[in-house]
Amino acid sequence: MSAAPSLLAVILNWRTPEMTLKAAEAAAHEMAGIDGQIVIVDNDSGDGSFEQMHAALASAHWAQGRVELVQSGRNGGFGAGNNFGIRHALAQRAYDYIYILNSDAFPGAGSIAALIAHLEDTPDCGFAGSYIHGEDGAPHFTAFRFPSIWSELEGAARIGAISRLLSRYVVPLPLPQATKRVDWLAGASMMMRRQVLEEIGLFDERFFLYFEETDLCLRARRAGWRVDYVRASEVMHIGSVSTGMKNWQRMPQYWFDSRQHYFRKNHGTAYAVAATVAHVVGGLLWKLRRVVGRKPRRDPEHFLRDLVVHALRRAKTKGAEIPALPTQQEAAQ
């Protein structure tokens, strides 16, 4: 009889200590009976988060022997923080599966076990992700196609005729009603086979935030591994608590850096330029539709201008591959 699979769960904290602890407690409850460990990584919050969580965990019965709190020492972003936790834990033990859980995500009954079961039953599946819903029960779109030149045009234009014509390039997939193979998954609740990470590497830390899961799933796909959306695994996700994305008035520089790095790294400079041109064309079509149809503004302020300025600036620097880390003000947004 083979040994039961082991699991490492990593939760990244950035200035949300109370919520992070709630996510960890929910994960610990779902890991009862599973051979595993939870590592909470404080991503150099600098606001007392680490000390607050350390004190709370010392007296939390659910955390005893199950949860370890570590300090990354720098805010290198989502990928870097998770990589820190993964490396830290794997240096002590070779877990079979690695589970990435957002600090504002709460696994439902049987959700973690369902991901393990799927990976155990599907040997060619490298990554498995959950069905995600909000506090109100409304489903979140977390299963996607890979971005492309055509998806940039479709997503920016938001015109029915164009979306129908380019339907097979639309990035958000229709909400799957059953477990299915997808291109990539949101990292709010995603389980990864350790063997795959040993083969393709961990998150690319040149992404500060956004596109890092897309890149990782693409690398897995190119190495011959499946990425599956597992409907039986249900997780509640509040969303954008650490990033503040819902309140953005203007798109931060690191989003443009990550988008540019994704296209340039995976498809080349010419493709990245074409993708930006397609987005600008789509954006201008949307602006025209807004005027004609009196539609409300949906993009952050000056989005198209910022996109073009960023692309021109990167071209002048000969398209350096490594984006600069965001300022402390950007990181705190």
Domain ranges of the chain: 6-139+175-244, 246-332
CA distances from residue 235 to 20, 134, 164, 209, 281 in whole angstroms, order as listed: 15, 9, 31, 21, 37
Contact 111, 233 (CB under 8 A): yes
Is the Cβ–Cβ distance between 45 and 58 less than 8 Å?
no
Tell which residue, 271, 282, 278, has the closest CA to residue 162.
282
> Which residues in the chain come in under a pLDDT of 70?
1-2, 240-248, 318-333
How is 196-239 classified by DSSP, letter by letter?
HHHHH-S--TT-SSSSHHHHHHHHHHHTT-EEEEEEEEEEEE--
**Closest Cα to residue 127, out of 233, 20, 42, 266?**
233
Instruction: Return the pLDDT at 325.
Output: 47
Q: Which two tokens stand for residue 192?
A: 């990864």
CA dist., res. 284 & res. 62, Å (int): 53
Q: How far is CA 207 from CA 16, 145, 184, 215, 242, in A?
A: 21, 19, 16, 9, 16
Span 6-139+175-244: which CATH code? 3.90.550.10
pLDDT given for residue 15 in this prediction:
96
- The span from the CA of 205 to the CA of 80, in Å, is 5
Rounded distance between C-alpha atoms, residue 193 and residue 140, angstroms? 24
Tell me whether strands 97-101 and 35-42 are parallel, antiparallel or unpaired: unpaired
Query: Angle of helix 303-316 relative to helix 253-267, nearest 10 degrees?
Result: 60
Which residues have C-beta within 8 Å of that of residue 17, sequence separation ≥ 6?
45, 48, 49, 52, 53, 56
Q: Which residues pair with 35 in a beta bridge?
A: 6
